[in-house]
Structure formats: C-alpha cells, structure tokens
Amino acid sequence: GYSQDRFAVEAGIGQPPSYSPLFFSLSDGPTVVQSGRTAPCVTLSWLRKAGSHIYIGSKLTFNTYNFTYSSNINKVAFNLFSNSPDSSSGTTVVCKSTYMGIAPTFDVGIGKRHQYVHLFLMPAINFLLKGTMSTELYQNYTGSAIYDHTQNTSGYLNPILFHMNLGLVEHLPVSKEWHITLSETLSMMIPNSAIADAKGTNGLTITPTYLNLQLGLMHKYHSAQSSTRQE
C-alpha cells in the first residue's frame, strides 16, 4: 500500500493583481482600478500518498490582502453652449487584511517515474486575523472638490471568506527525503462572497483574486507500518 507522507513549509509573497482600463472611457459608466501591493505569506502543508499519482491532505495558510480599489464615474460636458461642468464621483477603498486559511488539498503528481511537478486544487475557509479598511466618497466638479469624506470601515470586513485555490508546485530534490519547492497559487473567492459587507464599501462588491509565489522545503517519509516503496 501507499502511505508516504509529505510535510512542507513555504514562505513568500502574495498580492491581489493590479489592473486598470487600457483606454480612457467617455461613457457614464464606472471605471474600476485596482492596485495591489505585496505582503508576506506562509503555508504549512501535509499530504499522504493515496495512489501512484494522487496525494490527499490539508494546508494551513496565512495570506494578506493589501490593495486599493477605486470605482469612478466621469461625466464630460460635450455641449459648448451648456453650463453643465465636467464632473467625477466615486469610491476608493483601501484594505489590508490578514487571514488564516484551512484547506483540504487534492494533489496530482505529473510524470511516470519522477513526479517533480504537481498540480493541486484546494477549497479553503479563511478566518480574519486582523484588518483595516477605509472608504473614501468623493464628488468633484471641474477639478474642485465639492464633497470628499473618508471613513474607517474596518468593522465591515467579513470575518470568514471562502476560496477556491489552484496551484502548481515544482520540486528540486536535494536527497531522497528532502525537496526544495517553488509554488504558484491562484485564489478566487467563490460566488456570492466578498471581502467586506457592501454597507462599508458604498455598495461595491469587492472580490479580489490573490496570487502568491512561495519557496519551501518539503520532507517525505513513511510510517513504521507502511511500505518502503518510493515514488
């Protein structure tokens, strides 16, 4: 039977991706801009070999969402005979929140003899450890601030987030029992989930994805009752 166990510790950096429109929009619809900032992340994992290519286990993750999210509406006065000024209004949310995640993990090793590349899938429940969030509401006419108010909205951060995670791990063996690992993970919030209650974000539903890159050390071993067969 297969009962090879693997334990790994990984550390690195992660952030929500940054994005903005490629072109300036002349429509009255909102323009959304997100700016992500890197923060440390840590993962502890345990896997048990359940077949020639299949591993099942769990991961404990610590990730920080550090980003600014802006939704802006621009109205441009095209009519030269109109007294209506150009205007813009919008909401800017600044968030930095840290979560501990618990994730059952399904892992597949690629390769016939040496499985140095692994794909994994893991649904996760994440618990808020600490976090701050502020929400700015503003409205401008021809560059002059008419209304600008920033409020501490940290209390609206959701205490629990649900994610689906997809990842890739590359292994560099340094011995039969020890591997150096490099992993890349994409985390996506499940539908109907958001990082904060919409009451604290002026009605915006903010569901940032999360990317991380980690370097780690993995130890594989067998229990006393298990077969000594290696991969």
pLDDT, tens digit, 9 for 90 and up, residues 163-177: 999 999 999 999 989
> Is residue 159's pLDDT more than 90?
yes
101-127 confidence digits (pLDDT tens): 999 999 999 988 788 999 999 999 999
Residue 16 DSSP SS3 = coil
pTM of the model: 0.83
Query: Cα–Cα distance between 55 and 40 in angstroms, integer?
Result: 27
Query: Cα–Cα distance between 134 and 155 in angstroms, integer?
Result: 10
- Higher-confidence residue of 142 and 168: namely 168
- Higher-confidence residue of 141 and 108: namely 108
Mark 19-47 as b/e (b = at least 16 C-beta within 10 Å): eeeeeeeeeeeebeebbbeebebbbebeb
DSSP assignment of 57-116, as one string? EEEEEEEEEEEEEEEEEEE----TT--PPPEEEEEEEEEEEEEEEEEEEEEEEESSS---
Closest CA to 121 of 106, 101, 103, 104: 106
